[in-house]
Amino acid sequence: MYRYDSYDQSMVDARVEEFRDQVQRRLTGALTEDQFKPLRLMNGLYLQLHAYMLRIAIPYGTLSARQMRKLGEIAQKYDRGYGHFTTRQNLQYNWIKLADAPDILAELATIEMHAIQTSGNCIRNISSDQYAGVSADEVADPRPWAELLRQWSSFHPEFTYLPRKFKIAVIASDEDRAAMRLHDIGLKLVERHGAIGAEVYAGGGMGRTPMVAPLIRDFVPEDEIISYLEACLRVYNRYGRRDNKYKARIKILVHELGVEEYQRQVEEEFAHMRTLGLNPPVEELDRIRAFFAPPAYESDLTQDIDRSDPAFALWVDRQVATHKAAGYAIVNISLKPLSGIPGDASAEQIELVASLAEQYSLDEIRVTHAQNLVLPHVKKADLYAIWQKLDEAGLAEANLDLITDIIACPGLDYCALANARSIPLAQKIAQRFADAERQAELGELKLKISGCINACGHHHAGHIGILGVDRKGVENFQLLLGGSGADDASLGQITGPGFSEDGVIDAIEKVTDIYLAQREGDERFLDTYRRIGMKPFKEAIYG
Amino acid sequence: MKILTGNDLVSGDVIWWAGDGWSRQVGDSIDVGQTGDDLARTEEAALRVVGAYVIDATITDEGVRPAHIKDRIRALGPTVRPDLTLKPNDADAGNWVI
């Protein structure tokens, strides 16, 4: 894992002290709320429905055991004993006191973490593949590039006041586990003629105008990625719609200019950039890359897993993925217990995962955009011991990518922007489909719920998506079908008029019944939908 | 009736104007009539509240009830965590917001 150098540490420490002074001035009245609000947002501190909320950046979703443990301690000491893992691989605390915020940031700084650029119209936390570095299908570990982008984008003076927020994802596999094409810029590392570079996608995103990012350059050499991104951002910064918040994201610019014209302008800027010597020296990328060198895996480990305990075998089949090193496995920890809150983890659960990482996973944890956790380096021989400990802590649900592995934003239970509650709906859907055999029969089915049009719950990218809306003060839910955030990215289509909470659950049941009746071979729900189209589903739902 | 709500500047807690100060209980709210906006400005300047705003509410058998679901959730707490609401021992507390 990357470790801060003296520059990183001094920047973060200085920001903590700056914010401490700003909070003090707010508490004494030297700053009004209008003056203070942009300052607190630059440090990830929102005022939400019930209290202040602090959003912590987890760079490319990677945590050490030490960092994870501290996150649990902060939840216990300053919050109400839990945290919420988000769809951008971050962590949010829901009950923060303003006076405590600087102390929390100071504690985070001791573990090389912060909340900088987790809000505002800047480049946000870089997201990546939770299997980075351990997946057999990647052409390179994407984390060194993600870290390079973190350093480049942190306090970037030209891109601190962009027209709107800006999200970047980096992957390095054909299988997209990071919803890369639904980011403002998505980078896919590829190998061409023996050289590593990036396919660059720009103008994707969800929100009120969802778009799948088009490819704007099929290869940027690895040592020119920074220059190329500078060019992409410059064009956006210059021409993005600052006059209209709802049209200010890069996706609107790319759409309005057209892909070819945006490409042309970026190439023109890129040609200029190349003359400025902006790319970091190769030595710097090498320095960063060294932090992500593969660990010393043990050899001659057993490949066998004792599957005599049926509950354990079920969990292995669902939650354990193939690791690139023989004798090792990737463990997915579900944060979707059947009556739980998607993405929430108690301080005790956070501590447990930290301990498991320390003992069994070479000190590493990953956070996924689907609001689950990953232990990336587990010996197969240790799987049973890990499962037993997870089971005791309520973390052994075997539902990865099944209908109960629901992505849900905090919704109206916590969020000041929301129009409807996402979490209770997720819980009721999970209860309706709780039967393990039924879930297995339905197979991969990604269900995603957002409590408002901002789409933090990725409803556009759900095989089944749900959008909560406010209909004259009453919660109402629109149903979407056919979305995907994976390498077959697509946007869901609305079925028709919305439903009550109970009504949308009934509608989902009808939709799954149609799928089971119509599927061919080993088609997933999404495959069947794409083959037969919306009509049969619509007829079943609305009659 | 019109009632005034906001968040405590220091703790962030949801608070309701009770006539002689702020309360954590929506039931303590008083009708502020047309004085809400002035009160909000005064109280914000005194650093006792942040983001104060006036909402519609009604008096029911159960007390003061904000007109909009968002404010009813603010008044109660998250419906999915009864233990963190103002009625932690009432398993049906969440139904109050609907």
pLDDT of residue B95: 83
DSSP one-letter string for A257-298: H-HHHHHHHHHHHHHHHTTTT-SPPHHHHHHHHHHTPPP---
Inspect the interface and report whether the beta carbons of B11 and A29 lie closer than 8 Å. Answer: no
What's the length of chain B? 98
Domain ranges of chain B: 2-93
pLDDT at A99 over 80: yes
Phi, psi for B52 (deg, rounded to 5): -70, 140
Structure tokens at B87: 């009625």
Model pLDDT for residues A481-502, shown as the tens digit of each residue: 999 999 999 999 999 999 999 9
pLDDT band per the 50, 70, 90 thresholds, residue A44: very high
Could you read off the pLDDT of A170-229 as tens digits, one per residue?
Answer: 999 999 999 999 999 999 999 999 999 999 999 999 999 999 999 999 999 999 999 999
A526 vs A270: CA distance, rounded Å: 39
Residue with tokens 């001094």: A10
Are the beta carbons of B69 and A474 separated by less than 8 Å?
A: yes
Q: 0.95 cut: is pTM over it?
A: yes
Q: Do A424 and B79 touch (CB under 8 A)?
A: yes
pLDDT(A294) > 80: yes
Mean pLDDT of A372-400: 98
Confidence of residue A281 (pLDDT cuts 50, 70, 90): confident
Q: In this structure, what token pair is assigned to residue A304?
A: 């066998």
* 3-class secondary structure per residue, A297-339: CCCCCCCCCCCCCHHHHHHHHHHEEECCCCCEEEEEECCCCCC
In contact, B18 and B71? CB cutoff 8 Å: no
pLDDT for the residue numbered A149: 97
- With an 8 Å Cβ cutoff, is B66 touching chain A? no
Bridging pattern class, strands A82-85 and A91-96: antiparallel
The arrangement of secondary structure in A6-110, i.e. its CATH architecture, is Alpha-Beta Complex (3.90)
Tens of pLDDT along chain B (98 residues) come to 999 999 999 999 999 999 999 999 999 999 999 999 999 999 999 999 999 999 999 999 889 999 999 999 999 999 999 999 988 888 788 888 88
Q: Give the count of beta carbons closer than 10 Å to the beta carbon of residue A451.
A: 32
CATH code of A407-542, in short, is: 3.30.413.10
B79: helix, coil or strand? coil
Residue B86 near chain A (CB below 8 Å): no
> From the CA of A37, how many Å to the nearest CA of chain B?
11
Query: Identical fold at A6-110 and A134-290?
Result: no
Flag whether residue B50 sits within 8 Å of chain A, measured between CB atoms: yes
Please, are residues A442 and A431 in contact by the beta-carbon 8 Å criterion?
no
The reported pLDDT for the residue numbered B76 is 95
Count of C-beta atoms within a 10 Å radius of residue A336: 25
Residue B91 CA to residue B75 CA, distance in Å, equals: 16
Domain ranges of chain A: 6-110, 134-290, 310-392, 407-542
Task: Please give the interface size between A and B, counted as residue pairs whose CB atoms are below 8 Å apart.
Answer: 67
DSSP single-letter state for residue A212: P
Provide the pLDDT confidence category of residue A282 given band limits of 50, 70 and 90: confident
Check if the beta carbon of residue A214 is closer than 8 Å to that of residue A223.
no
Report residue A308 as tokens.
Answer: 């005599």
Residues 6+ apart with CB under 8 A from A304: A380
Q: Is B12 on the interface with A (CB under 8 A)?
A: yes
Q: Which residues of B touch A51 (CB under 8 A)?
A: 7, 11-14
> A413-428: per-residue pLDDT in tens?
999 999 999 999 999 9
Q: Reply yes or no on domain A310-392 having CATH 3.30.750.24.
A: no
CATH of A134-290 among 3.40.50.2300, 2.120.10.30, 3.30.413.10, 3.90.1560.10: 3.30.413.10
Instruction: For B95, name the nearest residue in chain A, comparing CA atoms only.
Output: A424
pLDDT confidence of residue A397: 98
Output the average pLDDT for chain A: 97
| A50/B12 touch (CB, cutoff 8 Å), yes or no | yes
CA distance A284 to A262: 30
- CB of A53 closer than 8 Å to CB of A97: no
Band the pLDDT of A70: cuts 50, 70, 90.
very high
- Dist CA A334 CA A403 (whole Å): 13
Which among B13, B50, B73 is the nearest to A413, CB-wise? B73
Interface-testing mutation among B70, B71, B76, B97, with chain A (most A C-beta atoms within 10 A): B70
Q: Who's near A130: CB < 8 A, 6+ residues apart?
A: A61, A89, A177, A178, A366, A367, A368, A369, A374, A376
**Residue A531 contacts by C-beta under 8 Å, 6 or more apart in sequence?**
A520, A523
Closest among A253, A108, A261, A89 to A168, alpha carbons compared: A89
